[in-house]
Structure 1
């Protein structure tokens, strides 16, 4: 029970990586607040699974692109669950599109959700942690895309690099408050974001062939790394980035 007695906040937790981490945190003893945008049914079922584990849970609706959503989410978690000890900034989008004809609206929306949303969520959570006076942990779900390019991700990869950089700078700014700031860099994880792209079986097989562990990831693969960074097992880890990609990044030859 590595997270017993703590309150963990997870954005974009109605499905995919966020949902898996939220439920995984509850399995390790945490009460959990989740944020969701347009999947009310998924949020409701996530809360039900957390409660079935004997933990408290709340779901707070809001678009992370709006800075006010962060304040509301953090305030509700503190009020209803008693504290804010860990924030996992997970909410993100990746509408694949070519570079030369990228619509301004697509670029702007991706920046606002992925990078601006992560920034304001981390800021709001950190302010609450400072008020509480006992430290905490911020975890940004960055991506292997922070380190490598993608032809149809020119709007997306900069946001993930930005989250990684944000955690490095926040680690310096918040270390005096005992708030640890780290990022997780997943490789290709099967989620709703990429399900259409991965429907191409030949492409999927090529991708799996490049991964030393021989398979694409699933959301549950992110739980252990997230729990580690949230727990006291990582009490001297801050400003770090942990790749969770089956070895894809190192397989260059």
Structure 2
């Protein structure tokens, strides 16, 4: 029970990596705030996740709001504190990656990606940090960045800078928030099979190629990221801040 009685807020939590992280946090003893895009209430994926968490014996609520909005972070934290009186862990996981070529990238698509992945995240992290400072007990902030923070992608010129930005944000926030006992770290997933890349990986040849590029010979699944998130959220990582944890099955190091 690494997170016993902690309150964990996760954005983009109704699907993929966020959902797996929410379930694992609950299994480790946490109550969970499921932040997601879409309707404020009645989101089917979020409601089914709440039922799963309650079956584990923990509490959960969902908060529906647009991650691209600069005000969403304050809304999520407000609802979390209203429900559970505190927050201990904030996981910024929400993100989009609409693959698109560089030379004809539209301003609208670029801004949608940057606002969702980075600008909204910045102010959500700020809102979480202010609440943790107010509580006076420290806390853990985790940003789900990407291996794309370290390497390029021809169809991801709007996406990779946002993930590099999240990594840099956690490094700077570790410095800015250390005096309050707030730890800030980044998780960098490799290629994880989720809805965000489902269409891209539907190409069997590419799927096989990307699998073969890893040292472990397989693509990741959302549960592969949940464990590292729990570790960074827990007191086992009490001296870990400003770190970046690459969770990619060895994709990055497999040059030859």
Residue 151 of structure 1 aligns to a residue in which SS?
coil
Who is 1:242 aligned against? 245
Partner Cα separation in structure 1 for residue 122 and residue 53 of structure 2 = 26
Who is 1:21 aligned against? 21
Who is 1:132 aligned against? 135
Partner Cα separation in structure 1 for residue 58 and residue 84 of structure 2 = 10
Partner Cα separation in structure 2 for residue 67 and residue 210 of structure 1 = 37
Residue of 142, 150, 153 corresponding to 2:153? 150
1:100 aligns with 2:72: no
Who is 2:167 aligned against? 164
1:48 aligns with 2:48: no
Number of aligned residues: 253
Query: 8 Å contact 2:189–2:248 — kept in the other structure?
Result: yes
Residue 193 of structure 1 aligns to a residue in which SS?
helix
1:189 aligns with 2:192: yes
The superposition leaves residues 115-139 of structure 1 with CA deviations (integer Å, 9 ceiling, x where unpaired) of: 0121111100000000000000000
1:211 aligns with 2:220: no
1:230 aligns with 2:236: no
Shift of 1:82: 1.8
Shift of 1:5: 1.3
Residue 185 of structure 1 aligns to a residue in which SS?
strand
1:173 aligns with 2:173: no
- TM-score, length-normalised on structure 2? 0.98
Query: 8 Å contact 1:56–1:81 — kept in the other structure?
Result: no
Query: 8 Å contact 1:146–1:160 — kept in the other structure?
Result: yes
Residue 8 of structure 2 aligns to a residue in which SS?
strand
Residue 17 of structure 1 aligns to a residue in which SS?
helix
Residue 19 of structure 1 aligns to a residue in which SS?
helix
The superposition leaves residues 7-29 of structure 1 with CA deviations (integer Å, 9 ceiling, x where unpaired) of: 00000111000010011100000
Moved more, 139-148 or 73-82: 73-82
Unaligned segments of structure 2, at least 5 residues: none
Who is 1:4 aligned against? 4
Query: 8 Å contact 1:12–1:37 — kept in the other structure?
Result: yes
Residue 243 of structure 1 aligns to a residue in which SS?
strand
Shift of 1:38: 2.3
Who is 2:64 aligned against? 61
The superposition leaves residues 151-192 of structure 1 with CA deviations (integer Å, 9 ceiling, x where unpaired) of: 100000000000000000000000000000000000000000
Query: 8 Å contact 2:16–2:194 — kept in the other structure?
Result: yes
Query: 8 Å contact 1:142–1:163 — kept in the other structure?
Result: yes
- TM-score, length-normalised on structure 1? 0.99
Unaligned segments of structure 1, at least 5 residues: none
Residue of 116, 120, 123 corresponding to 2:119? 116
Instruction: List, as ranges, runs of 4+ consecutive aligned residues in structure 1 with deviation greater than 6 Å.
Output: none
